[in-house]
């Protein structure tokens, strides 16, 4: 039994990779991948993340606005990642509390960044 406790403790000490952080969700992984490519102090919109996700999965004949079907998933996963401290949600350039209700236009930035504006 103590071996289990030790192994569980060592797992929690190991740094999480994008797959573990995202819980295997492809939308969450895509968001984290996009955020990591940003220069310090920069952010992306959820729409840009949805467009990039859709572009990677595009099939011939898909409508040009196929990205819209992924926007709710991008918003949901961004909120989940923010609640786990993996990214920062910005509103008017300032971080919002992902546990409190918020509305309006938001942007996504690396965790801990609060001055991203575009």
What does the domain layout of the chain look like in residue ranges? Answer: 22-110
Domain spanning 22-110: CATH 1.10.10.10: yes
CA distance linking residue 12 with residue 14, whole number of Å: 6
CA-angle at 32, arms to 88 and 95, nearest 5°? 5
Residues 6+ apart with CB under 8 A from 4: none
28 and 22 in contact (C-beta within 8 Å)? Answer: yes
Residues 6+ apart with CB under 8 A from 31: 22, 49, 74, 77, 78, 81, 87, 108
The tens digit of pLDDT for each residue in 2-53 reads 444 443 443 434 345 544 555 689 999 999 999 999 999 999 999 999 999 9
Average pLDDT over residues 102-110: 95
CA distance linking residue 13 with residue 101, whole number of Å: 32
- Which two tokens mark 82? 């923010």
**pTM of the model as a whole:** 0.77
What is the predicted pLDDT for the residue at 17?
A: 53
Q: Residue 116's CB: how many other CB atoms inside 10 A?
A: 21
């Amino acid at each position: 039994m103590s071996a289990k406790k030790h192994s569980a403790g060592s797992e929690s000490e190991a740094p999480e990779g994008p797959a573990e952080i995202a819980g295997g969700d492809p939308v969450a992984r895509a968001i984290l991948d996009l955020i990591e490519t940003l220069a310090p102090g920069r952010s992306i919109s959820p729409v840009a993340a949805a467009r990039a996700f859709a572009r990677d999965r595009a099939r011939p004949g898909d409508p040009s606005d196929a990205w819209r079907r992924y926007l709710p998933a991008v918003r949901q996963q961004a909120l989940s990642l923010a609640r786990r401290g993996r990214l920062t949600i910005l509103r008017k350039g300032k971080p919002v509390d992902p546990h409190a209700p918020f509305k309006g236009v938001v942007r996504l930035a690396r965790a801990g960044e609060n001055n991203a504006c575009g």
